[in-house]
């Protein structure tokens, strides 16, 4: 019997191995994947509380979620991809889950209860990266889908090349695969020789999706066998059926090979015996009669045989013809009788059909009159009484408002949904408290103005481009005060003593000179490099403000604006129009209300829950 390798994760496939061994196969458990449970946050698990439908894609998803012990809406409709998953749901949560006839994604999406899911809240409990088609199709059908990832598949440690060498040495004939992750774990790191050998093996897979994924690894479709699901029983049936087919084919080939040999042997024997018999007969005839007598006897026998055969054929033909004529006559009689019976039955049927049509017409007329009367009575009753309110519709609208507020941060959209809910409740009595809470929520949401991120960003960009146009504070040195030379020499000879004193004073002044300026004080000058650095510093602050705006960091935004404003006020002319324009723009930007994540709590949520109960 063939050697079957089971690659399912540890703890699975034991029952399948036992079934195969009892059937005479050689079975080996060789897990290539391991299951690692994850710990989602409370936010990721919160959709399970109010979900209308909860879908589990595997037993591992059920077990992993049960270990987390989350708050889950047990009144929701539960779904399972296969029977074993449904049994695990009932064992751990006590809820019966709906299962498709075809145990895969396509079969699940074909369920009637998942065809119309527009506006429904659906939680998909799954493994990491698994079943993307289910989420995609349900979103296209209008559902609010929440993925709850609770586990992941990881390849077990080890070299795949050594795996395949071990399998090849043990004459592995077939491989059981139940996930695309197992295909990746086996094929991805293989060298060409190992991959070529592996492509010749028989593969037993759990779905057409895995079969298509295997074909991407150049595995022939003739070597892929699709089971009715991932359960051990379904996989065993697929393997056993394939093994029986191979056994029957091998037996038929053996029979075909033996049959021609027997026939040829028999023909050879008959060919060998015929010459011996003819020879003995000839010898005996030679001993009894002469050649002429023998020839005459043969001619006579041939003529007699021909005449007798012709007479016999004519006689048999006449008898056969008479018998055929008699049979035809009998058949005509029977057909005539059957035809008369059919005509009688047709007449009776037409009469019955006519009577039935008259009865049906009378019944339809009576039913139409009765329906019309009932419809009039129902319309009159509906006009007298107010139409009933569907709690499910109210709850769905409230959940939609919560989703837009918490998930999408769409305050205006949330307000629009609540206004629609208020309009629905306005036509029914007993909803005053709920409507009051809804109106409070609407006023709160309408007062929240969204941050004009794009407009603020463009204003910052405009200020940034105008920095190079600013004029620095110019330092104009005042003119020197007029100096009166008190030590000027006189041309008069009699003033020689005064001239001598003035000459001495000039000599002293040549060593120490004190000049004075009248008017404004002197401020330090800035070099071109210093001016360039100041400009770059202001631009850096404005760029930092833009980044803080896009990343929703209000404190960094205002600190950067304050520093840029201080530098402009300190180093540039305050009377210049460009400086005034920049300072005004920065002051206006400092007044912006950057409340990126306002805390909003819907008062109507609790009121709607109380009303629905």
Same domain membership, residue 570 and residue 428: no
Asked if the structure places residue 460 within a domain, the reply is yes
Same domain membership, residue 91 and residue 27: no
Kindly report the CATH number assigned to the domain that includes residue 537. Answer: 1.20.1440
Same domain membership, residue 576 and residue 464: yes
End-of-domain residue from the set 176, 211, 236: 236
Same domain membership, residue 12 and residue 45: no
Asked if the structure places residue 144 within a domain, the reply is yes
Same domain membership, residue 587 and residue 455: yes
Same domain membership, residue 67 and residue 91: yes
Asked if the structure places residue 533 within a domain, the reply is yes
Q: How far is CA 261 from CA 30, 123, 248, in A?
A: 46, 68, 21
Same domain membership, residue 110 and residue 19: no
Structure confidence at residue 96 (pLDDT): 94
Please compute Rg for the chain using Cα positions: 52
Name the domain count of the chain: 5
Asked if the structure places residue 176 within a domain, the reply is yes
Q: Are 199 and 179 in contact (CB under 8 A)?
A: no
pLDDT digits (tens, 9 = 90+) for 447-493: 777 778 888 889 889 888 988 888 888 654 444 445 566 666 667 76
Residue 150 CB contacts under 8 Å (≥ 6 apart), including other chains: 37, 38, 40, 61, 64, 65, 68, 125, 126, 127
Same domain membership, residue 140 and residue 113: yes
Asked if the structure places residue 262 within a domain, the reply is no
End-of-domain residue from the set 138, 155, 172: 155
Same domain membership, residue 39 and residue 28: no
Q: How much is the pTM?
A: 0.39
DSSP letters, 307-373, are: HHHHHHHHHHHHHHHHHHHHHHHHHHHHHHHHHHHHHHHHHHHHHHHHHHHHHHHHHHHHHHHHHHH
Asked if the structure places residue 308 within a domain, the reply is no
Residue 260 CB contacts under 8 Å (≥ 6 apart), including other chains: none
Backbone angles phi, psi at 504, to 5 degrees: -65, -40
Same domain membership, residue 587 and residue 457: yes
Q: Tokens standing for 592?
A: 């912006």
End-of-domain residue from the set 236, 268, 299: 236
Same domain membership, residue 557 and residue 432: no
- For the chain, residues with pLDDT lower than 50 are 249-289, 384-386, 476-481, 517, 519-523
Asked if the structure places residue 14 within a domain, the reply is yes
Kindly report the CATH number assigned to the domain that includes residue 121. Answer: 3.40.50.10090
Same domain membership, residue 102 and residue 129: yes
Asked if the structure places residue 421 within a domain, the reply is yes
Residue ranges making up the domain that contains 18: 3-32+158-236
Residue 541 CB contacts under 8 Å (≥ 6 apart), including other chains: 560, 561, 563, 564, 567
């Amino acid at each position: 019997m063939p050697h079957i390798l089971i690659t399912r994760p540890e703890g699975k496939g034991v029952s399948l191995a036992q079934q195969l061994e009892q059937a005479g196969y050689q079975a080996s458990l060789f897990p290539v994947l391991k299951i690692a449970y994850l710990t989602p946050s409370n936010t990721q698990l919160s959709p399970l509380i109010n979900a209308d439908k909860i879908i589990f894609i595997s037993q591992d998803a059920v077990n992993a979620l049960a270990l987390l012990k989350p708050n889950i809406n047990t009144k929701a409709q539960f779904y399972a991809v296969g029977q074993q998953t449904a049994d695990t749901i009932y064992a751990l949560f006590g809820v019966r889950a709906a299962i498709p006839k075809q145990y895969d994604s396509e079969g699940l999406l074909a369920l009637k209860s998942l065809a119309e899911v527009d506006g429904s809240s659906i939680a998909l409990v799954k493994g990491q990266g698994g079943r993307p088609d289910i989420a995609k199709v349900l979103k296209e059908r209008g559902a609010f889908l929440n993925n709850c990832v609770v586990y992941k598949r990881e390849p077990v440690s080890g070299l795949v090349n050594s795996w395949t060498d071990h399998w090849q040495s043990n004459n592995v004939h077939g491989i059981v695969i139940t996930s695309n992750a197992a295909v990746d774990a086996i094929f991805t790191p293989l060298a060409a020789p190992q991959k070529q050998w592996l492509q010749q093996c028989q593969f037993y897979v759990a779905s057409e999706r895995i079969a298509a994924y295997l074909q991407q690894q150049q595995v022939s479709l003739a070597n892929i066998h699709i089971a009715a699901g991932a359960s051990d029983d379904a996989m065993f049936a697929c393997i056993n059926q394939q093994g029986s087919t191979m056994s029957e084919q091998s037996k038929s080939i053996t029979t075909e090979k033996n049959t021609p040999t027997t026939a040829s042997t028999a023909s050879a024997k008959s060919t060998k015996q015929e010459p011996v018999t003819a020879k003995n007969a000839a010898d005996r005839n030679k001993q009894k009669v002469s050649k002429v007598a023998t020839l005459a006897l043969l001619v006579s026998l041939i003529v007699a045989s021909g005449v007798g055969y012709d007479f016999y054929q004519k006689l048999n033909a006449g008898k056969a013809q008479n018998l055929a004529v008699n049979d035809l006559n009998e058949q005509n009689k029977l057909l005539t009788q059957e035809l008369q019976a059919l005509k009688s039955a047709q007449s009776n049927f037409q009469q019955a059909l006519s009577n039935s049509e008259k009865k049906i017409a009378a019944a339809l007329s009576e039913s139409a009159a009765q329906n019309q009367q009932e419809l009039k009575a129902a319309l009159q009753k509906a006009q007298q009484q107010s139409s009933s309110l569907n709690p499910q519709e109210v709850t769905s609208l409230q959940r939609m408002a919560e989703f837009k507020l918490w998930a999408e941060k769409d305050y205006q959209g949330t307000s629009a949904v609540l206004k629609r809910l208020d309009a629905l409740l306005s036509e029914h009595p007993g909803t005053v408290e709920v409507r009051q809470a809804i109106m409070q929520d609407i006023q709160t949401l309408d007062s929240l103005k969204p941050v004009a991120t794009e407009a603020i960003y463009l204003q910052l960009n405009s200020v940034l481009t105008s920095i190079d146009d600013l004029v620095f504070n110019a330092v104009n040195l005042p003119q020197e005060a007029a100096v009166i030379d008190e030590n000027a020499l006189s041309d008069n000879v009699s003033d020689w003593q005064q001239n001598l004193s003035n000459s001495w004073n000039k000599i002293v002044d040549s060593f120490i000179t004190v000049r004075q300026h009248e008017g404004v004080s002197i401020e330090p000058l800035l070099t071109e490099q210093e001016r360039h650095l100041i400009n770059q510093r202001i631009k850096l602050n404005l760029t930092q403000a833009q980044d803080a705006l896009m990343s929703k960091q209000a404190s960094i935004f205002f600190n950067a604006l304050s520093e840029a404003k201080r530098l402009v006020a300190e180093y540039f002319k305050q009377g210049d129009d460009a400086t005034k324009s920049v300072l005004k723009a920065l002051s206006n930007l400092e007044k912006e209300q950057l409340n990126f994540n306002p805390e909003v709590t819907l008062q109507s949520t609790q009121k709607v829950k109380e009303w629905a109960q």
